[in-house]
Amino acid sequence: MASRLGHLLYWVASWIAVIMIAGGMVVWLYFSRPNYDPLGLLIVGFGIIVWLAGRAIRHRLAGR
């Protein structure tokens, strides 16, 4: 049961990370043209952290 929960949480975290990374790239490339505000890069960084947290949860619960 814990293995299935680990996989589910990993996929949820992966989708959240994809949305955050894509959204962060859009914010960085299109909405911060004059001075290249680092907000988009910050969002991308948090997306990577969410993805890594999902992998850690899967590793812990699923034993991979």
Going residue by residue through the chain, which has 64 residues, state the pLDDT in tens, using 9 for 90 and above.
888 898 999 999 999 999 999 999 888 888 777 776 788 889 899 999 999 999 999 999 987 6
CA 2 and chain centroid, separation: 22
At 49-58, the pLDDT tens digits run 999 999 999 9
Whole-model pTM: value is: 0.81
Handedness of CA 27, 30, 31, 35 (dihedral sign): positive
pLDDT of residue 64: 62
pLDDT of residue 21: 93
Residues 6+ apart with CB under 8 A from 11: 54
Residue 7, phi then psi, degrees to nearest 5: -65, -40
Residue 63, phi then psi, degrees to nearest 5: 75, 30
